[in-house]
Structure 1
Amino acid sequence: MTRQINGDDLREQVAGELLRSRARSTALTDAVDEHDLVRQHSKLMSPLVWDLAHIGNQEELWLVRDVGGREPVRSDIDEYYDAFKFSRSVRPELPLLNPKEARQYVGDVRGKVFDVLEKVPLQGRRLVENGFAFGMIVQHEQQHDETMLATHQLRTGEPVLHAPLPPGGNLVPATETFIPGGPFEMGTSDEPWALDNERPAHAVHVDSFFIDTTPVTNGEYAEFILAGGYDDRRLWTDDGWEHRTNAKLVAPRFWQREEHSFVRTAFGVTEPIVPDEPVVHVCFHEAQAYATWAKKRLPTEAEWEKAARFDTAAGRTRRYPWGDEEPAEQHANLNQRHLRPAPVGAYPAGASPAGVHQLIGDVWEWTSSDFGPYPGFEVFPYREYSEVFFGPDYKVLRGGSFGTDKSAIRATFRNWDYPIRRQIFAGFRCARDA
């Protein structure tokens, strides 16, 4: 189904998404003082002030200069905010804009963007058709907002972010769901703001399999630890065991063991783990070892997407697990409404046709698949978004987390990261052959 909005309605939608993403960026950066904004809380992350100015710089490059054809606002800073020119570890050493300058800069850019949005035709050029370039920038800002949220998780000190608890869980009658074999349509060719690695739609055959009805929980993962899972070499691949040994892994990141129980620190608050919440902050290797211990495996990317999208009764592929409508509060734990995953079974309205729960939101889910192009892949609009990451170094994650915005997630959306990464809001569910 092609989803197109034209004319003034499209401009109004774009303006609303731009405002919504900027409100989140502002909240994440206003929550801390200037010292915390310029400080590097982890070598894995940029200072928060770098992320803020980088958001403005990408917006300037694509919407002000390219789409709008306007004069540069600050071409003198381009190289410092090029994510490929300087790694995160060295960014604090660059002559970055200070917090006041960064806020002024992103404000100046945004003013010009709204002028461009009002005047530029949203047709006749692929980059602007259906507002694509604006949608790309909205998603870019929201992705960096999730990165900034991860930086907040890594900072030390008193809590500065607050949110209500997610809804309570509900009993999910089955622990796993059968997905029948056969072809389905994977990816998309008609989602207006889908990024290049999601395209094009193509038929994929998947053999019958079982998939966990919910993500693996804290309680289940604690059983793996207490059963000696981190010490059993047989459960780990060669790469996984090497990393587990070198990094001295003994539990998910931010967990501490107390006798036979565990506590977890999240955004400055330390408390006992909630047994029925999905486990978060585990790397691919940990997920894979758990799956082996459970006598299962991680799902492939195609299996995950079929479980999330294919409606066997109707014989068609959906946009989201629950249907084609945009995510709402009853469907999924998204938009940073809560600062933690919701207990399993909390979103029955978001289940897939096969009865698989919480595929969208809560935790990014590791799959067993390397990140690569779909058949017929075409770079658009730049190589550095997807193509330069293709290969066996990166594993695909699916579904989004509690820190993902609804504008930056779809059942076709593909995330990727190194298999050792644990600061991201990642968990997993298991699968097995039928």
Structure 2
Amino acid sequence: MGTREKVEAVLTRARRRTAGLTDCLDDSDLVAQHSPLMSPLVWDLAHIGNQEELWLVRDVGGREPVRSDIDELYDAFKHSRRSRPSLPLLNPAEARHYVRAVRDKAWDVLDSSTFRGRPLEEHGFAFGMIAQHEQQHAETMLATHQLRSGAPVLTAEPAPRVGVPVTEKEIIIPAGTFTMGASDDPWALDNERPAHSVYVPSFEIDAVPVTNGRYLEFMDDGGYCRPELWSERGWAHRCEAALEAPQFWESDGRGAWWRRVFGVPEPLHPQEPVVHVCFFEAEAFARWDGKRLPTEAEWEKAARWDPTTGRSRRFPWGDSDPDDSSANLGQRFLGPAVVGAYPSGASPLGVHQLVGDVWEWTSSPFEPYPGFTAFPYREYSEVFYGGDYRVLRGGSFGTDPVACRGTFRNWDHPIRRQIFSGFRCARDISGDER
């Protein structure tokens, strides 16, 4: 597939998903704020169009603005999510008209693009950036749907409930240097760059993400009542927020747990990866299990390093893009698949489901790589470095393949759990285990 065809495909797929997440709701649901953590969905819709206008229509295309008067309204850094409902936003009909008008101009820009010239235009980077931006907002909108009350509006096939047995519980990753990050991937974002060598001591990492069944064992062993398992800050948050279980879990009072999934209560499946846990919960579980969370470098080495060739792959299974057999991505389902459901997506050393299903918390703060350069604007990554964030890796069932690869970095505050977040554990290994 050539660059033009690829761009057309990813932009079309992103817009189809955006429409699916907004057309299913009436206007009152679109303008409502379903959580102070999230924007009204109508804001996300017009913001998607505004970013496309700024970068594709005006910058790359040099075209006349569609609506320059609304730039400030949809600048994410000028208005907090909590404050956005009070802004004079476009109404749903106006927002839909706006994004259609912008897309029509973007198609004209694509038709005339040579994908050469400035770094922003080389290999269609700006188009890839906008497709990733829209899909990232689509995942955010999906999280808003999970927070929304009212009758269910989303439908999908159930995720796979049967997987191959994964006999190894932990996988040894040998000590050594590997290439972390990306320099050659034309659509990699600035925080993934540049590629650089990192030495990682030997360690063990869980072969699969932590499951609901394992997490229930932690809960049954008093995990939420034992301060020694939590960091000082984590315990303070657990008490202040009255955490007793992952978000959206509900007990029937007789020992059985259910999970609310986009408005539908479902029995908890013990072999699905646990989802909607914050960093502090993941950290406490790891300490209870005699382990720790992996560092970002450990996670990426487990996901990308090929011991046979010594090189880093784009994905655990190789360099080819994800397909339906390798990972649970793209909102094909409305939840994680059971562990072992994607054996063809395992890494060369046998680590499963590193991509898709749930974002995985790491212990690493969000910091720049050596030689980082902000591109094409500081507000994508640079302004977040050094803040109160932890890195998440791997993507979730709600992440589109265009916004997911072995080098992709996500980050969020350690208290956040409305995101589709889970984790797996790691541990140091002694000399006689190597």
Equivalent residue, structure 1, for 2:247: 253
Per-residue deviation at 1:364?
Answer: 0.1
Equivalent residue, structure 2, for 1:123: 116
Q: Partners in 2 of 1:333 and 1:223 — Cα distance?
A: 26
Q: Partners in 1 of 2:406 and 2:314 — Cα distance?
A: 6
Q: Give matches, 1:147-158, under 5 Å.
A: 147-158=140-151
Equivalent residue, structure 2, for 1:310: 305
Residues 47-88 of structure 1, C-alpha deviations (whole Å, 9 max, x = no match): 110000000000000000100111111011111100000000
Q: Partners in 1 of 2:266 and 2:164 — Cα distance?
A: 22
Q: Partners in 2 of 1:327 and 1:79 — Cα distance?
A: 37
Q: Partners in 2 of 1:429 and 1:237 — Cα distance?
A: 18
Residues 158-194 of structure 1, C-alpha deviations (whole Å, 9 max, x = no match): 1110111122222101111000000000001000100
Structure 2's unaligned 5+ residue stretches are 430-434
Equivalent residue, structure 2, for 1:228: 222
Residues 2-42 of structure 1, C-alpha deviations (whole Å, 9 max, x = no match): xxx7xxx2112111111110000000001111111110000
* 2:46 corresponds to which of 43, 53, 65: 53
Structure 1's unaligned 5+ residue stretches are none
Q: Partners in 2 of 1:89 and 1:352 — Cα distance?
A: 41
Is 2:137 the counterpart of 1:144?
A: yes
Is 2:157 the counterpart of 1:164?
A: yes
Per-residue deviation at 1:157?
Answer: 1.2
Per-residue deviation at 1:392?
Answer: 4.5
Equivalent residue, structure 2, for 1:102: 95
* 2:204 corresponds to which of 179, 185, 210: 210
Q: Give matches, 1:24-423, under 5 Å.
A: 24-167=17-160, 168-258=162-252, 259-423=254-418
Letter in 2 for 1:365: E
SS of alignment partner, residue 72 of structure 2? helix
Equivalent residue, structure 2, for 1:426: 421
Q: Partners in 2 of 1:383 and 1:239 — Cα distance?
A: 30
Letter in 1 for 2:242: K
Q: Partners in 2 of 1:15 and 1:193 — Cα distance?
A: 15
Residues 179-228 of structure 1, C-alpha deviations (whole Å, 9 max, x = no match): 00000000010001000000000000000000000000001001111110
SS of alignment partner, residue 317 of structure 1? coil
Letter in 2 for 1:56: G
Contact 1:210–1:433 (8 Å) recurs in 2: yes
SS of alignment partner, residue 197 of structure 2? strand
Per-residue deviation at 1:261?
Answer: 2.2
Q: Partners in 1 of 2:231 and 2:251 — Cα distance?
A: 25
Letter in 2 for 1:55: I
- Runs of 4+ in structure 1 off by over 4 angstroms are none
Letter in 1 for 2:368: P
Two-structure CA RMSD over aligned residues (Å) = 0.7
Contact 1:366–1:426 (8 Å) recurs in 2: yes
Q: TM-score, normalised by structure 1?
A: 0.98
SS of alignment partner, residue 225 of structure 2? coil
Per-residue deviation at 1:383?
Answer: 0.3
Letter in 1 for 2:201: D
Letter in 1 for 2:419: I
Q: Partners in 1 of 2:384 and 2:182 — Cα distance?
A: 20
Contact 1:226–1:260 (8 Å) recurs in 2: no
Residues 100-129 of structure 1, C-alpha deviations (whole Å, 9 max, x = no match): 000000000000000011113310110000
Letter in 2 for 1:343: V
Q: Partners in 1 of 2:114 and 2:406 — Cα distance?
A: 30
Identity of aligned residues (%): 68
Letter in 2 for 1:202: H
Letter in 1 for 2:347: S
Letter in 2 for 1:111: D
Letter in 2 for 1:212: D
Q: Partners in 2 of 1:166 and 1:404 — Cα distance?
A: 15
Contact 1:43–1:88 (8 Å) recurs in 2: yes
* 1:15 corresponds to which of 8, 23, 31: 8
Q: Partners in 2 of 1:267 and 1:39 — Cα distance?
A: 17
Task: State the aligned residue count.
Answer: 427
Letter in 1 for 2:122: E
Per-residue deviation at 1:256?
Answer: 1.3
